[in-house]
Amino acid sequence: MSEARTAILAALRAAPPRGPAPAPDFAVIGEKRWDAPERVARLRRAMAAVKTEFLDAGPGDWPRVVLEWVQAERLPNLLYGPGTAEGRALAAAWPAPGPGAPRLLAYDRPVEAFKGDLFGTVAAGFTTTLGGLAETGGLLLAPGPAEPRLLSLVPPVHLALLRADRIFDTLLQAFRELGWNREPPANALVVSGPSKTADIEQTLAYGVHGPKRLVVVLIN
Amino acid sequence: MAAEGDGLAGLEVDFLGASTRALADPQLRRNFRRAMDGLMAKRAALFADPAEWTRLRALGAGIRARNLGRLPELLETLERSLIRNGMAVHWARTPLEANRIVLELLRARGATAVVKGKSMVSEEMGLNHYLAEHGIEALESDLGEYIIQLDGEMPSHIIMPAIHKNKDQIARLFSQRIKEARYTEEVDELTAMARAVLRRKFEAADAGLSGVNFAVAETGTLCLVENEGNGRMSTHVPALHIALMGLEKVVERLDEVAPLYSLLTRSATGQAISTYLNLISGPRGEGELDGPREVHVVILDNGRSRIFQDPELAATLACIRCGACMNHCPVYTRIGGHAYEAVYPGPIGAILTPQVEGVGRRHELPHASSLCGACAEVCPVAIPITHLLIRLRREAGHRLPGTSVAGAGTARSGLEALGWRVWGWVLGHPAVYRCAAWCATRCWRLLPAGLPGLRAWTRTRSRPLAARRSLGERVRRQGVPRV
Amino acid sequence: MREVYFYATCLIDLFFPDAGMAGIELLQAAGVRVIFPDGQTCCGQPAFNCGYWEEARAVARRQLALFPRDLPVVLPSGSCAGMMKVHYPELFHGQPEAAAAVALAGRVHELTQFLVDELDLKLEDLGPPVKVTLHPSCHALRDQGVLDQPRALLRQLRNVELVELPRERECCGFGGVFAVREPGLSAAMAEDKAEAVRATGAALVLSTDGGCLLNLGGTLARQGPGPAAVHIAQFLRERSHGR
């Protein structure tokens, strides 16, 4: 055990003992509840206010919606995680490679193997989400083996699939229902919009280090 | 921040001089006035319901009090959980120890290209300077920190480090210091320039340094709050991630982060939610294709365990570093952060800095306040800042039995102590007071204008006039009952 | 007949006795028997704020003994009311006077708060039209939540136009010893406050606090002709008494 550790803990323990503090009352943040349509409306409003874009889709046609959007935006490629059911559905709907067609790239090897491309030529990244937040807006993601961390961070555009029936009322509710408060994944993430800053004369600017655009594909 | 064992304790500080210069700088005053007004308005809009504010704040304060009540156990639990999750934990008593730990970690892995996410603890350590002395450049990636690093400055605010800078100053800085950059004052273009530069650095970095907003003991989770994405870049791209935290940042459960996070974003920048909330509970895991191979957490003391000894002053450690206190402080608004010559400025700085560096050395800071209470009113975890300012004033001038405050009693002025004794004698004896009141009212004009307090007062105010007869006298004459 | 103790506070006693008298007369006009204990001097706040608690206690102890009967204690100054109400229990914590301090704190009232909350005072406006603004003293505002009461009293006066002061919640810069210890900061705050007063176009700025009055009044006066600072009690008495 390090000397510093021993000394610090001993110093803290030398302080006069404190009486037990009462258990905090979480009711004020637990009370917020909205019905399903309100949850969607709240999330859309909050995220659109910080320049998040929305595409509406149905459970069957969302891969086509994604493809058409990528084509309309003239993006040369889209990076995705091939190990998810949604990833496979996307790949199934994707046209074969050809002139003018956007390429579907699989993030299927360690980042060390294609860092240059990831930072250089990948135009957009596609991920699923675990849900959304109604109170404040926001998407919940758990990057992992199937959808790596940098997929939703490095490409300048992040396309995120959100099921409208998976929107939680509050962050606390999400923590509890996703089990993050018991056993969080190695990386868990809440994203509420494209990256931004107000560091220059408090003027809002988008697209600093994270994605410049966040596009939510909302499945109703 | 100056403390024993890191050689900065000898640096001269002169708050009166620094604040006087700041007051005389119209651009600085304009910049801060505008910025603080904006931040206050944003916060007010997000806490428009007084009942909700009261309850949420009580929850936040209660959580922090509970955390602090169990600090040593929570730190041990945190360590166990972090290690179980595959992260390493290091403890540092002083900034120097922490710097050495970081340097050793970097050297052992041959890391020379280092990117930094925002970390106030790293400012306490003087880390960038230390690493530079040892041949390692740590590049700031938060836009505000990047800007001031280019200009060789310290942050002037704990949330918006470059808040003192104008667009044209930044434009000039970028055009001079960034290769191939042209002069532009367009915020979007300036931002794009910084993005391009830093993107290359993220890609090439061997190591990423970050702070920690909350460290969850139960689950072994580091919570990082940010808007730009540079925090995620710094913590997920390089192979080595080193997280720096003050020992007071530990909370017990992830549930507690929900209300604290809401209080933080609304108090700091008037946002309901930040762009990113990044929860790190391990390095690159089994099957993961990216993420750091190693995560190291450095827990820094730097005077906190000493602050913890005092039940009243320990409330200083509840701070979640939102900056609301300084945004609302009439003193900070007028002089900005640099005038404090400290890592943490404003009201939190005025109570924290003296306790870390010695209340004698920093006695000016607790006195740089009219005790208006605007800070305590907005503190999301209900730190009784004005009480603590008065307490530190007391500690500066008196060596109270059993005190654990650094430098207690070392700023005692014999003249002031005598002055208060005389004051106490006059006002403790009604007959003496009545006599003094009679003299004051009759002979006021005879008071020399050069009397120290009077001269300072009359520089910007008309000479105060004692009335012809005190109220006490008039009451007696008019027969108002006295029992 | 209701009875109260009246505590002048040292600044009102020495610099604004008219305001103190007005406060007493307002209470008397409302049918209250006002008792002015002999031997009152200072609440002790200056020494308390500067950390000289032994000296503050010596003075405060004397004040504690002035109010033997269980009657309200009314003060025409927000910061001094705050001192007795909020800080006396703190100052005497663990001391023999602890219980007495807590007991006193429970019956301390700032004047406008007493006039509105306890007496539900009704005023008639006998004065000519005038535009005024209000500076809520920090200690009254934050220690005791006093803001609505002065406003409520002023709103009763039909010929008085009350204009809100820009950044009204910001400190005027007095802070007691702060004004001489950090004169530059104090002056900057006072000057900004004075400028805000001028910007309202009001003829008068009203205050519930002797320190704020001294500071703001002095700053305005030094800057030349224009709005003056007046204690709210004095203003209310003049308007309702037609003096």
Cα–Cα dist A96/A75, whole Å: 16
At residue C103, the 3 state secondary structure works out as: helix
Residues of chain C numbered 91-110 and touching chain B (CB < 8 Å): none
- Segment B341-357 shows an average pLDDT of 97
Q: What is the share, in percent, of chain B residues with pLDDT greater than 70? A: 98
At residue A193, the 3 state secondary structure works out as: coil
Does B276 lie in the same domain as B134? Answer: yes
- Segment B66-90 shows an average pLDDT of 97
User: Domain ends where: B290, B305, B320?
Assistant: B305
- Say if B270 falls within a structural domain: yes
User: Domain ends where: C117, C141, C159?
Assistant: C117
Report chain C's mean pLDDT, rounded to a whole number: 95
- Segment C7-21 shows an average pLDDT of 95
**Domains recognised in chain A with CATH numbers:** 33-219 (3.40.50.10420)
For an interface test with C, give the residue of B325, B329, B420, B471 to mutate (most C CBs within 10 A). B471
The predicted structure's pLDDT at residue B316: 98
Contact status, residue C2 vs residue B465, Cβ threshold 8 Å: no
DSSP state of B462: P
- Segment B316-324 shows an average pLDDT of 98
Structure tokens at C36: 């002015």
Does B227 lie in the same domain as B91? Answer: yes
Those residues with Cβ within 8 angstroms of residue B69's Cβ, 6 or more apart along the chain or in another chain: A18, A19, A20, A21
Residue B10: pLDDT over 80: no
Which chain B residue has its CA at the smallest distance from C39's CA? Answer: B430
Does B258 lie in the same domain as B136? Answer: yes
Q: A171-188 pLDDT, tens per residue?
A: 999 999 999 999 999 999
Q: How many angstroms from the chain centroid is the CA of residue B88?
A: 28
Q: C109-130 pLDDT, tens per residue?
A: 999 999 999 999 999 999 999 9
Higher per-residue pLDDT: A21 or C156:
C156
Residue B60: pLDDT over 70: yes
Residue B9: pLDDT over 60: no
Does C231 lie in the same domain as C134? Answer: yes
At residue C117, the 3 state secondary structure works out as: helix
At residue A111, the 3 state secondary structure works out as: helix
- Say if B460 falls within a structural domain: yes
Q: What distances in angstroms separate CA C228 from CA A9, A86, B310, C216, one per listed residue? A: 59, 73, 46, 9
- Segment A32-42 shows an average pLDDT of 95
Residue B446: pLDDT over 90: no
Within 10 A of C213 (CB to CB), how many other CB atoms are there?
Answer: 29
Would an 8 Å CB–CB cutoff place B464 in contact with chain C?
yes
Would an 8 Å CB–CB cutoff place C218 in contact with chain B?
yes
At residue B78, the 3 state secondary structure works out as: helix
Higher per-residue pLDDT: B439 or B93:
B93
Directed axis angle between helix B15-23 and helix C183-200, to 10°?
30
Q: A130-141 pLDDT, tens per residue?
A: 999 999 999 999
- Residue numbers in B near A193 (CB within 8 A): 275
Cα–Cα dist A78/A67, whole Å: 9
Cα–Cα dist A207/B199, whole Å: 12
Domain encompassing residue C61 = 2-117
| Structural domain total, chain C | 2
- Say if B372 falls within a structural domain: no
- Residue numbers in A near B203 (CB within 8 A): 115-116, 119
For an interface test with B, give the residue of C63, C83, C182 to mutate (most B CBs within 10 A). C182
Does C136 lie in the same domain as C94? Answer: no
Cα–Cα dist B139/A135, whole Å: 36
For an interface test with A, give the residue of B173, B248, B273 to mutate (most A CBs within 10 A). B273
Those residues with Cβ within 8 angstroms of residue B401's Cβ, 6 or more apart along the chain or in another chain: none
Cα–Cα dist B128/B116, whole Å: 9
Single-letter residue type at B369: S
Residue B275: pLDDT over 80: yes
Site of tokens 């004065």: C127
Q: How many angstroms from the chain centroid is the CA of residue A144?
A: 12
- Say if B136 falls within a structural domain: yes
Do chain C and chain A touch with ≥3 beta carbon pairs under 8 Å?
no
Rounded to whole angstroms, the maximal C-alpha distance in chain A is 74
User: Domain ends where: C117, C148, C175?
Assistant: C117
Residue B329: pLDDT over 80: yes
- Segment C78-106 shows an average pLDDT of 96
Residues of chain B numbered 102-161 and touching chain A (CB < 8 Å): 141-144, 147, 160-161
Nearest to B279 by CA among A136, A50, A179, A86: A179
Higher per-residue pLDDT: B3 or A93:
A93
User: Domain ends where: C91, C117, C143?
Assistant: C117
Q: What is the share, in percent, of chain B residues with pLDDT greater than 90? A: 87
3 state SS for B97-166: HHHHHHHHHHHHCCCCEEEECCCHHHHHHCHHHHHHHCCCEEEECCHHHHHHHHCCCCCCCCCCCCCCCC
- Say if B330 falls within a structural domain: no
Residue B11: pLDDT over 80: no
Domain encompassing residue B439 = 415-478
Q: What is the share, in percent, of chain A residues with pLDDT greater than 70? A: 99
Does B298 lie in the same domain as B443? Answer: no
- Segment A48-60 shows an average pLDDT of 97
Structure tokens at A62: 């969302």
- Segment A30-49 shows an average pLDDT of 94
Nearest to A167 by CA among A2, A65, A32, A74: A32
Does C59 lie in the same domain as C81? Answer: yes
The predicted structure's pLDDT at residue B7: 41
**Least confident window among B5-9, B104-108, B159-163:** B5-9
The predicted structure's pLDDT at residue B3: 47
The predicted structure's pLDDT at residue A99: 86
**Least confident window among A38-47, A152-161, B61-70, B468-477:** B468-477
Cα–Cα dist B204/B238, whole Å: 8
Does C163 lie in the same domain as C222? Answer: yes
Contact status, residue B171 vs residue B190, Cβ threshold 8 Å: yes
The predicted structure's pLDDT at residue B5: 38
Does C87 lie in the same domain as C51? Answer: yes
User: Domain ends where: B255, B271, B305?
Assistant: B305
Q: C84-95 pLDDT, tens per residue?
A: 999 999 999 999
Would an 8 Å CB–CB cutoff place B450 in contact with chain C?
no
Directed axis angle between helix B430-443 and helix B471-478, to 10°?
100
Q: Which residues pair with A128 in a beta bridge?
A: A161
The predicted structure's pLDDT at residue C147: 83
Sheet holding C108-110, edge to edge: C32-35, C2-6, C73-75, C108-110
- Residue numbers in B near C195 (CB within 8 A): none
Cα–Cα dist C121/C26, whole Å: 9
Contact status, residue B191 vs residue B171, Cβ threshold 8 Å: no
The predicted structure's pLDDT at residue A20: 77
Q: What is the dihedral of CA C139, C140, C145, C150, to 10 degrees?
A: -160
Higher per-residue pLDDT: A20 or B262:
B262
Does C99 lie in the same domain as C79? Answer: yes
Cα–Cα dist A95/A86, whole Å: 16
- Say if B11 falls within a structural domain: no
Q: What is the dihedral of CA C67, C73, C78, C81, to 10 degrees?
A: 40
Residue-wise DSSP of A1-60: --HHHHHHHHHHHTSPPPPPPPPP-THHHH-----HHHHHHHHHHHHHTTT-EEEEE-TT
- Segment A109-127 shows an average pLDDT of 96
The predicted structure's pLDDT at residue A1: 61
Contact status, residue C37 vs residue B483, Cβ threshold 8 Å: yes
Residue B4: pLDDT over 50: no
Does C6 lie in the same domain as C109? Answer: yes
Phi-psi group of C173: left, alpha or beta (phi > 0 → left; psi -120 to 50 → alpha; rest → beta): left
User: Domain ends where: B288, B305, B322?
Assistant: B305
DSSP state of C53: H
Contacts by C20-23, CB closer than 8 A, 24 or more apart: C20/B471, C20/B474, C20/B475, C20/C76, C20/C233, C21/B471, C21/B474, C21/B475, C21/B478, C22/C231, C22/C233, C22/C234, C22/C236, C22/C237, C22/C238, C23/C74, C23/C76, C23/C111, C23/C233, C23/C237
- Segment B186-209 shows an average pLDDT of 95
The predicted structure's pLDDT at residue B456: 86
Q: How many angstroms from the chain centroid is the CA of residue B466?
A: 42
- Segment B292-296 shows an average pLDDT of 98
Domain containing residue C233: CATH number: 3.40.50.1860
B373–C51 CB contact, under 8 Å: no
| Structural domain total, chain B | 2
- Say if B429 falls within a structural domain: yes
3 state SS for B409-455: CCCCCHHHHHHHHHHHHHHHCHHHHHHHHHHHHHHHHHCCCCCHHHH
The predicted structure's pLDDT at residue B2: 47
Least Cα separation, residue B446 to chain C (angstroms): 16
- Beta-sheet strands, E only, within chain A: 53-57, 77-80, 103-106, 124-128, 131-133, 139-141, 157-163, 167-168, 187-191, 196-197, 205-206, 213-219
Does B90 lie in the same domain as B238? Answer: yes
pLDDT category, C242, cuts 50, 70, 90? low
Does C234 lie in the same domain as C160? Answer: yes
At residue B85, the 3 state secondary structure works out as: coil
Residues of chain B numbered 350-379 and touching chain C (CB < 8 Å): 367-374, 376-377
The predicted structure's pLDDT at residue B156: 92
Domain containing residue C68: CATH number: 3.40.50
Rounded to whole angstroms, the maximal C-alpha distance in chain B is 92
Q: What is the dihedral of CA B73, B77, B83, B88, to 10 degrees?
A: -40
Does C207 lie in the same domain as C175? Answer: yes
Residues of chain B numbered 392-431 and touching chain C (CB < 8 Å): 392-398, 416-417, 420-421, 423-424, 426-428, 430
- Say if B87 falls within a structural domain: yes
Report chain B's mean pLDDT, rounded to a whole number: 94
Q: How many angstroms from the chain centroid is the CA of residue B414?
A: 31
Contact status, residue A127 vs residue A153, Cβ threshold 8 Å: no
Cα–Cα dist B147/B170, whole Å: 7
Does C67 lie in the same domain as C165? Answer: no
Whether the CA torsion B470, B371, C116, C159 is positive or negative: it is positive
pLDDT category, B454, cuts 50, 70, 90? confident
